[in-house]
Amino acid sequence: MALTGREAREEKESEETTAMERDPASSRPETAARADPAASGDSVRSNPGHHRVVVVGGGFGGLEVVRHLRREKTVSVTLVDRRNFHLFQPLLYQVATGGLSPANIAAPYRAIFSRQKNCDIVLGEVVDFDPERRRVILRDGELEYDTLVVAAGSRHGYFGHDEWEEIAPGLKTLEDALEIRRRIYSAFETADRSDDEAERHAFLTFVIVGAGPTGVELAGTLAEIARHTLRHDFRHIDPGIARIYLLDAGPKVLGAYPDELSDSARASLERLGVTVRTGTTVRSIEPGRVHVTSPTDGDETIEARTIIWAAGVKASALAQKLAEATGAEVDRAGRVVVENDLSVGRYRDIFAIGDMALVRTERGEPLPGTAPVAIEQGRYVARVIRNRMRGRPAPTYRPKIPGMIATIGRAAAVGEIGRFRIRGWIAWLLWLFVHLMKLTLFTNRLLVLIQWGWSYFTHSRSARLVTGLEHGPGGETASVAREAGVRTIGPRS
Ligand SMILES: Cc1cc2nc3c(=O)[nH]c(=O)nc-3n(C[C@H](O)[C@H](O)[C@H](O)COP(=O)(O)OP(=O)(O)OC[C@H]3O[C@@H](n4cnc5c(N)ncnc54)[C@H](O)[C@@H]3O)c2cc1C
């Protein structure tokens, strides 16, 4: 990908410094002294003479910090993550709906950084911080740092109803995506085997709670699956009769978008056959049904075997830990309130970025939890670290609200980029291009391009696999199926 003007300047700056600082010792590959955690119970890594930067979380923000320190010969970077791969979350819904395979949107850190010699990877879960001793506490050891960057992202928020999570999973991890995929395709399978009309309808009813970008993407794709992808695949049901509800307590879909784009998105969804219910609050969720209420329709129960949560997000639990350790504050969404230079509390050597940090623009608006924001902040923190290494003052961080674009389905999307509002084909092509270019590995870009091209012309979704079953159609859907008296054997006319 072409470098932007600023990236090119940063590259040049780094190269000049590298040339100035080059010495035989510093050009050696990193050989951090490693205590064997299994043997010592302690995984403190040290690299004498180097400035040790520990980055917690290899999402969009953390990855950018590590990448932008790649030319710093006197810096050793340790990236610690509880997963061994970077996940491209904006395409998770495509895994959840069987359009892409998990490996298409994930990239192992060791592959990404195999040539970055000043980067070490630690697979481990961070549980706490000790800023006085400059240690990151892992579940099974510790890491010592000179500068710490925490970019641990966010998780689902159920507005105090965590018990809903099992019934209505959210979409944040690959495991979530595979579970949702299992539930969606199991529901069609079970409906095909059911003799009971009401039960069959319940299996063919899908409720998505939350009409933000993820909810809209899921609803639009589910409608396409039911009407097109599966059209010829079943012998006892017509998947096209599936009902897809998209619920939101707010007054419109894509609440952060201007009204004209929200209206356009809603119209596209309705054309696809999605029932959009805004101003509708979920009162409770139980297996097989959602109880809702709205000022116009009053209380109502929707019988649905597949319920997906796309409504709330809260910061990683590490935000609270970091705030407690540093004396910083957290907001209602659990994000750490950071200083203007993204440092935390009174600690100039600790930074928090991305979804877990609360940053406001000059006009006081909080920055949204999006990939461009995390990327921008990761680059900024890397520049601060580089400047400090050279004894230069930190650059000023100027937060700005990035452009946004959401896809609704085939050839339909809406977006706002600066002063421009786009929709339809053009927005959809831009969405495809941006997502493709931002995917982490070249092989993933190529594979995704081929799959998208194929499914555009054929409506097919090649990864619609039901996995994770222990005893046939498993989990909740299966037990509901058993309760529903679903046929187990024999042909049917
Ligand atoms: C389904 C979905 C769709 C999205 N679509 C879009 C979109 O279209 N456009 C857009 O701009 N944004 C989108 N986003 C938001 C975007 O993905 C996030 O804003 C972005 O990922 C935030 O980056 P981050 O670096 O803060 O955190 P993340 O990318 O979430 O990375 C956090 C990392 O920290 C690691 N971690 C967490 N806790 C620990 C721990 N205790 N120990 C060790 N490691 C830990 C995680 O494993 C992860 O690798 C979407 C998000 C989701 C979930």
In a 3-state reduction of DSSP, which class is residue 331?
coil
Give the integer Cα–Cα distance in Å for 158 and 290.
Answer: 14
User: Distance of alpha carbon 260 from its chain centroid, rounded?
Assistant: 27
**Section 77-94 average pLDDT:** 97
In a 3-state reduction of DSSP, which class is residue 127?
strand
Task: Determine, yes or no, domain membership for 76.
Answer: yes
**pLDDT band at residue 454 under the 50/70/90 scheme:** confident
**Section 156-160 average pLDDT:** 91
Q: Are residues 73 and 210 in the same domain?
A: no
Q: Are residues 140 and 278 in the same domain?
A: no
Please give the pLDDT value at position 239.
96
Task: Determine, yes or no, domain membership for 201.
Answer: yes
pLDDT digits (tens, 9 = 90+) for 428-453: 999 999 999 988 888 899 999 998 88
Check if the beta carbon of residue 260 is closer than 8 Å to that of residue 292.
no
Give the integer Cα–Cα distance in Å for 278 and 259.
Answer: 14
pLDDT digits (tens, 9 = 90+) for 355-408: 999 999 888 889 999 999 999 999 999 999 999 999 999 899 999 888 999 999
Query: Is the pLDDT at 488 greater than 90, yes or no?
Result: no
Residue type, 68: H
Query: Is the pLDDT at 471 greater than 60, yes or no?
Result: no
Give nearest CA residue, ligand 1 atom 15: 370
**Section 315-333 average pLDDT:** 96
Residue 455 tokens, joined? 């499914």
Which range, of 1-5, 334-338, 387-391, 406-410, averages the lowest pLDDT? 1-5
Average pLDDT in the chain = 87
Please give the pLDDT value at position 48.
64
**DSSP of 248-285, one letter per residue?**
-SSSSSSTTS-HHHHHHHHHHHHHHTEEEE-S-EEEEE
pLDDT digits (tens, 9 = 90+) for 227-259: 999 999 999 999 999 999 999 999 999 999 999
Q: Are residues 215 and 272 in the same domain?
A: yes
Q: Within 10 A of 79 (CB to CB), how many other CB atoms are there?
A: 26
Task: Determine, yes or no, domain membership for 58.
Answer: yes
Catalytic (active-site) positions: 217
Instruction: Find tokens 């896809």 and name the residue.
Output: 407
**pLDDT band at residue 458 under the 50/70/90 scheme:** confident
- The alpha carbon of 59 and the centre of ligand 1 are apart by a number of angstroms equal to 5
Task: Determine, yes or no, domain membership for 397.
Answer: no
Q: Are residues 19 and 167 in the same domain?
A: no
Q: Are residues 294 and 365 in the same domain?
A: no
Which residues are paired to 107 by β-bridges? 86
Q: Are residues 12 and 128 in the same domain?
A: yes
Task: Determine, yes or no, domain membership for 475.
Answer: no
Instruction: For residue 13, give its domain range.
Output: 5-82+124-156+314-389
CATH code assigned at 347: 3.50.50.60
Pocket of ligand 1 from Cβ distances under 6 Å: 56-62, 80-83, 89-90, 92-93, 125-126, 151-153, 171-172, 213-214, 316, 318, 354-355, 369-372, 374
In a 3-state reduction of DSSP, which class is residue 356?
helix
pLDDT digits (tens, 9 = 90+) for 110-136: 999 999 999 999 999 999 999 999 999
Q: Are residues 187 and 256 in the same domain?
A: yes
Q: Are residues 321 and 376 in the same domain?
A: yes
The total number of structural domains in the chain stands at 2
Q: Are residues 229 and 276 in the same domain?
A: yes
Give nearest CA residue, ligand 1 atom 12: 370
Please give the pLDDT value at position 481.
46
**DSSP of 130-161, one letter per residue?**
ETTTTEEEETTEEEE-SEEEE---EEE--TT-
Task: Determine, yes or no, domain membership for 422.
Answer: yes
Q: Are residues 424 and 336 in the same domain?
A: no
Using most ligand atoms within 8 A of CB, pick from 43, 56, 60 the residue to mutate for ligand 1: 60
Q: Are residues 424 and 290 in the same domain?
A: yes
Give the integer Cα–Cα distance in Å for 150 and 322.
Answer: 9
- The alpha carbon of 316 and the centre of ligand 1 are apart by a number of angstroms equal to 10
pLDDT digits (tens, 9 = 90+) for 35-57: 333 333 344 455 667 899 999 99
Q: Are residues 354 and 409 in the same domain?
A: no
Residue 460 tokens, joined? 């097919």
Which residues are paired to 344 by β-bridges? 347
